Amino acid sequence: MISLTSIAVAAAATSMKREDEGRLFGFTLKHSVFLTLMIGLVVMFYAYVAPSLAP
């Protein structure tokens, strides 16, 4: 889960510039969306393609 507070704390702890905070948030957002899509694909695979393989 993306937390702006966590990003702000990480930026403050590493003395990050304001411009880099935005880049960090953008990367985190893209990474989170990518991982969500991957989990969704795995769930769809187990639900519709191979339900007998589901644990």
Tell me, what's the pLDDT at 4? 80
Tell me, what's the pLDDT at 1? 65
Q: Give the mean pLDDT of 22-51.
A: 92
Q: Is the pLDDT of residue 42 over 90?
A: yes
Q: Is the pLDDT of residue 34 over 90?
A: yes
Measure the CA–CA gap between 24 and 54, rounded to whole angstroms.
Answer: 36
Q: Give the mean pLDDT of 17-36.
A: 89
Look-up: residue for tokens 């694909």? Answer: 41
Q: Give the model's confidence band at 55: pLDDT under 50 very low, under 70 low, under 90 confident, else very high.
A: confident
- Using a 10 angstrom Cβ sphere, with 0-12 exposed, 13-18 middle and 19 or more buried, the burial of residue 27 is exposed
Between 2 and 33, the more confident residue is 33
